[in-house]
Structures are given as structure tokens and as C-alpha cells.
Homo-oligomer: A and B are copies of this chain.
Amino acid sequence: MTEISANAVVGQSGGPTSAINATLSGVIRGMKDAVACGLFGKIYGMKNGIEGFLEERLVDLSDMTEDNLSLLEMTPAAALGSCRLRLPAEGKNPDMYEKILGVLRKYNIRAFFYIGGNDSMDTVLKLSDYTKKHGYDLRVVGVPKTIDNDLTATDHTPGFGSAAKYIASSVKEMLRDIAVYTVRAVTIVEIMGRDAGWLTTAAALSGVSDGRAPDLIYLPEHPFSDERFLSDVRAALERRPDVMIAVSEGIRYADGTYVSAGNRSHTDAFGHVQLAGAGKALEELVRYHIGCKVRSVELNLPQRCAAHLSSLTDIRESVAIGRAAVSAATEGKSGVMMTFVRVSDNPYRADIRAADIHDIANEVRCVPPAYINADGNGVTAACLSYLRPLILGEITPCFENGVPKHFVFR
């Protein structure tokens, strides 16, 4: 494979995070070294993932400067663009596979890096199996990313630490904000996470230094009960007037129905039924059953794109795992996903490995019971020990005209 003319391609797929561009930078940095060593000719980027690859929308990344790579590492979202296309089974659409093989051959691409979530890893699996079966020597390496931290086979996912840092910091700032008045008031913060509560657990990190964290935390992993919730809130209001509650968007009742759905559907101005968010649903419960001042805050998009507050640990690891993907490819590995294996919490150390993509279950990794307290309304010390190192350290964002400066492909 090591003729000079062999080239490589990298793509991004799935939902944006603050760290997916750091991994892209890591792959480019690794490839520049590989090119310098004569192992490869060029590194291409595919626009909008496999969708753009099929349309030959490729950009040459071989000459990216150090300045641009640094800026790329502090730029949120997918600089190459993303897609939601999942490769079908080969039998279902052989034309698509032949098209891919055609583009691979045309550009003599021998290494294929794909940064994404579960669906993207499925693309890695199918593409590596397909090219192997058809005798085309291609190293296919997947690099995980997701703010949800719900991929199996890895200790944590690139992107999670930065989202967790944003959540913990914003919650801490809001805890200051709600403390200024003396009247009883409940503030509910709704955090992303449909199936796994990892991001919501991060709200607890706000209190590591001074002990002031959300009073109550509810995750999708523990069945929700309106009655228990109201009794929790009443007890919290006995202890202090400024109660804060962190809640995952995906909390659900014992029967599996989402709290955001349940019987709390709203009718909008056009007479259509809309689902209220989980935070809004709990806000109404408090308003009508307790009657104190209450509001809900949805952290929303900034959770996954507030790159000015990225975790330095996350960004460094995201670059490193991108570089490691290149090493895996040059070592001849294919059909693998790069993973983190934690060696210790304190001092924190995590190694990077390549795991066989066939062994990785396409399942959601939930917050384990040992990380949730007995009452199902908070997290344990073990959870904090796991989370804490992932948000440590701050990047030094670059500002221009008072706002963060980003790298954009023109």
C-alpha cells in the first residue's frame, strides 16, 4: 500500500460537537506526517460525509497551515459538513457501493477515516467488509464522536467532555443567578440526552469545589414518578428557597412513556398537538401542585457548539485520537474504531486503542446504576470521579471583533 501515489480521505458525519474538528485536525496532522514520511501522497476531505464522497465533493487538505489547524481545533461543528446518510446493506443498493469503489479507485484512496457516531461506525463496518470482499486494499478507520457519551467499547467519547464542561459551567453560573432573591423559586434546567443521562450527570460537576450543585438530578435511566418528584421538590424547598433541578430531555415513567409526552401534550395556535419538553412538563407540575415561582431553561444548541468553553482535555484527546487513527491505518489496520481505555481517574490517564468494529455492539451505553443515588434523584461520588477529569483544562480561544474566530472552508 505504501506507494507514494496512495491517498487518504477523511469525513465527518452525524450531529455536530465542539470537538469533531479537533479530531479532523488530528487526522490531518497525522496524515501530514505520513505524507512527509512518503507513506501517502495526499489527504482529501469529503464534504458532507459519505453523501459528498459519492458526488466527488473532495477538498485537498494536504497544505493546511499550522495556524489554520489550530483555529480548526477551536471551531465548533463539522467544518467539512455532515450528513445523515447511512450506507444500506450491499444487496439493497449495489450501485451505491460500485460508485464508492469508483471514486476510491479514481483518487487512489487507500485510507478512509470516518469521524462520527453509531451510524457512522456502521458505515465503517460495511465499507471495510465490502472493500475486503472485492479485493480493494483500503484501510477503513472510524473515530467516534458524540456529546451523548453513549457509545459502547470506549471509556468516553470525544466531544462529551466539552459539552459536559459547558453544562457544568452554565449551571454554576445559573446557580449564582438564582441565589440573589429571597423568595422561593424553582429553576428546572433541561439538558440533552434522549436515551442516556450522561450530559445531565455533568450538571453535578458544578458543585465539586463549593458543594453548591443542583438539588435534584433526574436521568432517563431511572423511572420517573410525578409523586416522588413533587415530594423531592417540597423537601428541597424546606432546605433552601432557590432550588435548582437538572433533568434529561429523555426522562420517562416506569411504563416507558416519556415525561415530555405522557398526558402533557399541548395544543398550539393551529390546533395541533405538540409535545412539551421535559423541563416544561415538570415546570407545570410544580406550578399547579406546589404553586411557587417556577421556570424552565433549555440549554439547547450551545451544549454542543459552545467551543469557546471547550475542555482542554477533550480537545487534546480528540486531536490525539485522530492522529492515532492515522497510525492504525499505516500499521495496516482496517475495520476498526478508535477507543479510549481509562487507566486511572486521578491522576487521569486514558490510552487509545483500535477495536475491531465487528465486536462493537450497536447499543446505547447508559449511565450505570452505581453512578445514580438510591433515590434516583442525584449522582454518586463514583460518577463524579469518572466525570471530573474529562472537563479539566481550558483552551485559549481566538477572538476577533469580540467574538470567537473560526476556521471555515471556502
Chain A residues near B (Cβ < 8 Å): 12, 16, 48, 51, 75-78, 81-84, 165, 168-170, 172-174, 176-177, 179-182, 187, 205-206, 208-210, 262-270, 272, 274, 276, 281, 284, 288, 297-298, 300-302, 304-309, 311, 388, 391-394, 399-406, 408
In the complex, A81 Cα to B288 Cα: how many Å? 28
Q: Select one of B169, B205, B265 contacting A308, CB under 8 A.
A: B169
Q: Is the pair A402, B408 in contact by a Cβ cutoff of 8 Å?
A: no
Quick one: which of A187, A265, A281, A305 has the most chain B CB within 10 A? A305
Residue on B nearest A52 in the bound complex, by CB: B182
Q: Is the pair A400, B209 in contact by a Cβ cutoff of 8 Å?
A: yes
Q: Select one of B210, B284, B406 contacting A268, CB under 8 A.
A: B284
Q: Is the pair B305, A281 in contact by a Cβ cutoff of 8 Å?
A: no
Q: Select one of B12, B81, B173, B276 contacting A404, CB under 8 A.
A: B173
User: What's the minimum C-beta distance from A265 to chain B, rounded to whole angstroms?
Assistant: 7
Show 15 A/B contacts (Cβ-Cβ < 8 Å), sorted by A. Answer: A48-B180, A76-B177, A78-B180, A165-B403, A170-B306, A173-B307, A173-B308, A174-B301, A174-B305, A176-B305, A208-B401, A210-B406, A270-B288, A309-B309, A311-B402
Q: Is the pair B297, A300 in contact by a Cβ cutoff of 8 Å?
A: yes
Q: Select one of B77, B181, B408 contacting A84, CB under 8 A.
A: B181
Q: Which residues of B contact A305 (CB under 8 A)?
A: 173-174, 176-177
Q: Is the pair A169, B403 in contact by a Cβ cutoff of 8 Å?
A: yes
Q: Is the pair A180, B82 in contact by a Cβ cutoff of 8 Å?
A: yes
User: What's the minimum C-beta distance from A228 to chain B, rounded to whole angstroms?
Assistant: 18
User: What's the minimum C-beta distance from A339 to chain B, rounded to whole angstroms?
Assistant: 23
Q: Is the pair A210, B404 in contact by a Cβ cutoff of 8 Å?
A: no
Q: Is the pair A173, B269 in contact by a Cβ cutoff of 8 Å?
A: no
Q: Which residues of B contact A81 (CB under 8 A)?
A: 179-182
Residue on B nearest A270 in the bound complex, by CB: B288
In the complex, A179 Cα to B12 Cα: how many Å? 13
Q: Which residues of B contact A174 (CB under 8 A)?
A: 301-302, 305
Q: Which residues of B contact A209 (CB under 8 A)?
A: 400-401, 403, 405
Q: Which residues of B contact A75 (CB under 8 A)?
A: 176
In the complex, A274 Cα to B283 Cα: how many Å? 12
Q: Which residues of B contact A298 (CB under 8 A)?
A: 297-298, 300
Q: Which residues of B contact A311 (CB under 8 A)?
A: 402
Q: Is the pair B177, A403 in contact by a Cβ cutoff of 8 Å?
A: no
In the complex, A12 Cα to B165 Cα: how many Å? 30
User: What's the minimum C-beta distance from A261 to chain B, rounded to whole angstroms?
Assistant: 11
In the complex, A5 Cα to B265 Cα: how many Å? 64
Q: Which residues of B contact A263 (CB under 8 A)?
A: 269
Q: Is the pair A176, B76 in contact by a Cβ cutoff of 8 Å?
A: yes
Quick one: which of A266, A281, A404 has the most chain B CB within 10 A? A404
Q: Which residues of B contact A405 (CB under 8 A)?
A: 209
Q: Which residues of B contact A274 (CB under 8 A)?
A: 266
Q: Is the pair B269, A284 in contact by a Cβ cutoff of 8 Å?
A: yes
Beyond A48-B182, A269-B284, A270-B284, is A177–B401 a contact (Cβ under 8 Å)? no
In the complex, A269 Cα to B226 Cα: how many Å? 14
Beyond A180-B81, A267-B266, is A403–B302 a contact (Cβ under 8 Å)? no
Give 5 nearest A-B pairs by CB, closest first.
A391-B402, A264-B269, A77-B176, A177-B305, A82-B180
Q: Select one of B179, B309, B403 contacting A205, CB under 8 A.
A: B403
Q: Which residues of B contact A304 (CB under 8 A)?
A: 177
In the complex, A276 Cα to B266 Cα: how many Å? 11
Q: Which residues of B contact A176 (CB under 8 A)?
A: 16, 75-77, 305, 307, 406
